Amino acid sequence: MDKVKVAIIGSGNIGTDLLIKIIRQSDTLSVAAFVGIDPESDGLKRAERMGIKIISSGVDGLINTEEWDDIKIIFDATSAKAHLYNWEKIKTYTEKKIIDLTPAAIGPYIVPPVNLSTLHHENNVNMVTCGGQATIPMVYAVSRVARVKYAEIVASIASKSAGPGTRANIDEFTETTAKAIESIGGAERGKAIIILNPAEPPLVMRDTIFTLSEIVDRQLIINSVNQMVEDVRKYVPGYELHQEIQFEIIDEENPIYIENLGMCHGLKTMIMLKVKGAGHYLPEYAGNLDIMTSAAKITAEMLVNMQ
């Protein structure tokens, strides 16, 4: 079977890492165009050296190129604001699908091992955030065996792995991730926090997930979480539990207050993750960026296989 032609918009860290992943690893996808707005960017120069068609005039230049008609999937690795413009330009081409790696969240959220199979018909799908891709599978792993009243995630990433796009989208990160914790993860109430860690040498991505659920057999949660970790590791090999899962009973006599939920009790579960990058273009500590590009790549490959 011929490879499906794709384009990547955004020549920064995420777009360039995605480019290299597809070239090195994908038996399904072929990059027909790599798009940016700065002809001097390292990403465009690197792509040109690799023999990839480069475009330095953004989405408008992409649409006007001869490769456009053959491109079936477009990855948007720009910013939330830029995606709004790009989508306005692309949405009339209904035969094409766009995978949005920004927090714009125009299309429905996708976390591959959780809900991709239900959204293959959508033309615009959103990859939530790096914190969402890392933590929502864990929230879902708990919620599929116990009703989750509240879930809170804390994503800690190396400051050096947070480029201008990430820093410009901090508010969108927390809002988008919290919404996806509820709509995909299955929590009644979600909250997201991001920490930019300036430690030297830079630390790999660490994520802590807290859930408050109904009380169930703890082994059900342990088994569900371990299975989900293995599901994610199929496309992010550096994804792993950092410590054993921890539990605490919050009893009715000593409930805790949760905003918009009031006084709550139940089973508190704490899951701690470490996400190490593959080191294709980005350093290994940038697991936050690696999990986004890995999730986007597997999403495109799965969408192709569902056609």
Q: What residues act catalytically?
A: 130
**Whether 221 contacts 269, CB under 8 Å:** yes
Find all residues with CB under 8 Å of 69, minimum gap 6, and list them.
none
The β-bridge partners of 30 are 5
Helices 287-306, 130-143: inter-axial angle, 10-degree rounding: 70
- Cβ partners under 8 Å of residue 196, min gap 6: 157, 158, 159, 162, 167
Could you tell me whether strands 256-258 and 205-213 are parallel, antiparallel, or unpaired per DSSP bridges?
unpaired
Task: Report strand pairing: 73-76 vs 124-126.
Answer: unpaired
Q: What is the DSSP letter of 307?
A: -
Taking alpha carbons only, the member of 291, 296, 255 closest to residue 274 is 291
Please list, residue by residue across 68-101, b when 16 or more beta carbons sit within 10 angstroms of its beta carbon and e when fewer do: beebbbbbbbbbbebbeebbeebeeeeebbbbbb
Residue type, 268: K
